Homo-oligomer: A and B are copies of this chain.
């Protein structure tokens, strides 16, 4: 079992195109441990059989998979589990790239100066309490897209199972503090036509379970946002200024109502979202 069978870090680095410092890091992180470490010198030696693993790690890192996930892939019990972990990450990457694409579009619109950045009409209205199916979760800012993508299908399926029809477009409540802290609790809901008497009592704050509940009444300042979600901040800025200038802001969650979503159209410009800011009772 001569040294000819093993590679030094420098050799392994040239063979895999992974920098030595990165190999050190992967060793320390338990991701890619040398086949042998000389106990007296501390020299790392890698086996030829580790080359495919190193190549896989390099490719997974190139698509920005976190080290913890890479480790999970490497220690997957079987090939199916491994491929599933990779597929899940590629799906997330796909969404990330879609997000980048719309951010680029948004940036270019901001620069080219979308003729007039569109002054938004703002109206006030009283939203009554309404029965709904709802789903709440603790969600980070950058995971809100995927979270909604799984939440609304579940909600609409639940509506179907209740044997009723949605009574209005779906929406979501963003806990006050959601934007300030870059995430927090979100409540996605779909209003349904149920007499209030038949409403099942709200089961505490069970996360990740669809439940029947009552959307609280609120007085709201409402702006209609036209276009991609990436530009929602433009509408929030106008709506928020309107409310703050008049000193009519009230406590409570911000609310969005999804009138025309990516499920309804492939053209971002056709999307419509109502943005609602809680205000005092006038």
Q: Is the CB of B19 within 8 A of A179?
A: yes
> What residues of chain B lie closer than 8 Å to A106, measured between beta carbons?
59, 62
Q: In the complex where A233-B55, A237-B51 touch, is A141 in contact with B180 (Cβ < 8 A)?
A: no
Q: Is the CB of A4 within 8 A of B245?
A: yes
Minimum C-beta distance from A157 to chain B (A): 30
> What residues of chain B lie closer than 8 Å to A206, measured between beta carbons?
none
> Chain A residues in contact with chain B, CB under 8 A?
4, 7, 9-11, 13-17, 19-22, 48, 51, 55-56, 58-60, 62-64, 83, 86, 90, 93, 97, 99-100, 103-104, 106-107, 110-111, 141, 179-182, 230, 232-234, 236-237, 240-241, 244-245, 247, 254
Q: Which residue of B lies closest to A16 (CB)?
A: B233
Q: Can you list 16 A-B pairs with a CB-CB distance of less than 8 A?
A: A4-B247, A14-B180, A14-B240, A15-B237, A16-B237, A19-B141, A19-B181, A55-B233, A56-B110, A59-B103, A62-B230, A63-B103, A83-B111, A90-B107, A93-B104, A97-B97
Q: In the complex where A11-B240, A63-B100, A244-B11 touch, is A233 in contact with B110 (Cβ < 8 A)?
A: no
How far is B244's CA from A48's CA once the two chains are assembled, in angstroms? 11
Q: In the complex where A14-B240, A56-B110, A240-B11 touch, is A19 in contact with B51 (Cβ < 8 A)?
A: no
How far is B254's CA from A186's CA once the two chains are assembled, in angstroms? 55
How far is B179's CA from A9's CA once the two chains are assembled, in angstroms? 11
Residue of A14, A93, A97, A241 with most partner-chain B CB within 10 A = A14
How far is B97's CA from A134's CA once the two chains are assembled, in angstroms? 37
How far is B220's CA from A151's CA once the two chains are assembled, in angstroms? 59
Q: In the complex where A20-B181, A180-B14, A181-B20 touch, is A104 in contact with B63 (Cβ < 8 A)?
A: yes
Q: Is the CB of B58 within 8 A of A233?
A: yes
How far is B2's CA from A247's CA once the two chains are assembled, in angstroms? 12
